[in-house]
Copies of this chain bind each other. A is one copy, B any other.
Amino acid sequence: MKIAIAGSGAIGSGFGYLLKKGGHEVTLMDFWEDHIQAVQQNGLTIAVNGQQDNIDIPMDKPENIQEKFDVVFIFTKSMYLQGMLEAIEHTLAGNTKVVCLLNGLGHEKTIAEYIPKENIIMGTTVWTASLEAPGKTSLMGQGPVEVQEVDPKGKEAALTLVQVLSDCGLNGIYSADVHFTTWRKACVNGTLNTLSALLDANIEELLQSDYVQHLIREIVEEFSRAAKAKGIGLEVEEMITYLNEASKKVGTHYPSMHQDIMNKRPTEVDFLTGEVAKIGAKNGFKTPKSQTLTELIHAKEDVLGISREH
C-alpha cells in the first residue's frame, strides 16, 4: 500500500516506521525543517520499546510531494488539523482513505470538509511516543489502535486497515463504536489534562483531592450531557470508575496538556472542554465547568505569552 504520514513527529514517525518495516511504501510528511533534513541525511533513528533501529524513509514537506496515496494517517495537534488538510489536499485521490487518531472532539466534521465521509476512518490509540531530537524518536507500548469507518460504505476499508495495522505490529482492532471510544478518551483528557495543567499536579496528586474528585464529577456530567446531544451514551458513574481505574496505571504521569503549558505550547483545550461548551451552547444547556476551565487554560496560555496563531 502507498501510505503517507501527515505529521511525522514522535507518534507519526513510529507508525511510519512500523508500516514501512511491514512492507508498505511509506512517505513521511511534516513542516519541521530540522527534522526533515535529519531524516533525509541520516535516515530515521528510532527505538520501538527500546529496540534501536535506523531506516531510510522518504520525508518532505507536503508541498514538495506530488504523489497520491492509498491511505493517509494524520498525526497533528488538534488545532493544526485544518491546516494540515489544506496542505495535503493535493495528495488525496478520490478513494484515498484518511485515518484520524487524534485526541479530542469535532475532527470528523473538519475532515469531512475535504473528503467524502466513506473515505474517513476514525480511531484512537494508546501507543505513546517521544521525539528526542530531529531524526531521533521512540515508540512505546503495545497499542492497540482501534478504528472504525464513519460511513457504512467505508467498512471494508476499515477492516483492511485493521489487518494492515496488525500485520505491521501496531495491534489493530476493529472498533464497534469508535465515537464512544473517542468521547471516553476526550472525557479522560478533558478532566485530567485540564486540571493537571491548571493545578500543576500529576495524576496521583490530583486524584487524592476531594475537591478534584468533585470537579471531575461535574466535568464528567457535562461531557455526558454533550455526548448525549450527539447520540452517544457516556454514562457518568461508569465514566468516573473508568477514569479512576485508568489513572491508577499512570500515577505520577503529567498529561500532555501539562507538558504543553510547561513547554509554552498552545493546548488542545478547545477540542476537549471547549467542544463540550460549544455543544452545550448550541443545544441550550449550561456547561459552567467546561467553559470556565477552557477560559482558564486560555488565560494561562495568555499569561505565559503562548500564541494560539496557526
Question: A179 to chain B: closest CB distance in Å?
Answer: 28
- Asked if A209 is an interface residue, CB under 8 A from chain B, the answer is yes
Quick one: given A208-B302, A303-B205, A303-B209, are A199 and B288 in contact (CB under 8 Å)? no
Which B residues are in CB contact (< 8 Å) with A300? 199
The answer to whether residues A302 and B214 also contact, given A288-B286, A288-B292, A292-B289 and a CB cut-off of 8 A, is: no
- Of B199, B208, B302, which one neighbours A212 at CB under 8 angstroms? B302
Of A200, A201, A209, A286, most buried by chain B (CB within 10 Å of CB) is: A209
Q: For A288, what are the chain B residues with a Cβ–Cβ distance below 8 Å?
A: 286, 288-289, 291-292
Q: Which residue of B lies closest to A288 (CB)?
A: B288
The residues in A between 262 and 310 inclusive whose CB is less than 8 angstroms from any CB of B are: 286, 288-289, 291-293, 295-296, 298-300, 302-303
Cβ-based interface call for A198 (8 A): yes
Q: Which residue of B lies closest to A303 (CB)?
A: B201
Please name all residues of chain B whose beta carbon is closer than 8 Å to the beta carbon of A211 when the two chains form the complex: 295-296, 298-299, 302
Q: Given the complex of chains A and B, what is the CA–CA distance between A26 and B246 in angstroms?
A: 60
Please give, as numbers and ranges, the residues of chain B lying within 8 Å of A195 by CB-CB distance. 299
Q: Do the beta carbons of A215 and B296 come within 8 Å of each other? A: yes
**Per-position 1/0 for A164-198, Cβ under 8 A of B:** 00000000000000000000000000000001001
Are the C-beta atoms of A295 and B214 separated by less than 8 Å? yes
On whether the beta carbons of A209 and B302 are closer than 8 Å, the reply is yes
B contact residues around A198 at 8 Å (CB)? 198, 296
Interface positions of A from 233 to 264, Cβ below 8 Å from B: none
Q: Which of A215, A292, A298 has the most CB of B within 10 A?
A: A292
Chain A residues with CB under 8 Å of chain B are 195, 198-201, 205-206, 208-212, 214-215, 286, 288-289, 291-293, 295-296, 298-300, 302-303
Additional pairs, 19, CB under 8 Å, beyond known A201-B303, A286-B286: A198-B198, A199-B300, A200-B200, A200-B303, A205-B303, A209-B298, A209-B302, A211-B296, A211-B298, A211-B299, A211-B302, A212-B302, A214-B295, A215-B292, A215-B295, A286-B288, A288-B288, A288-B292, A292-B292
19 A-B pairs with C-beta separation under 8 A? A198-B296, A199-B303, A200-B200, A200-B303, A201-B303, A208-B302, A208-B303, A210-B302, A211-B295, A211-B296, A211-B299, A211-B302, A214-B295, A215-B295, A215-B296, A286-B288, A288-B288, A288-B289, A292-B293
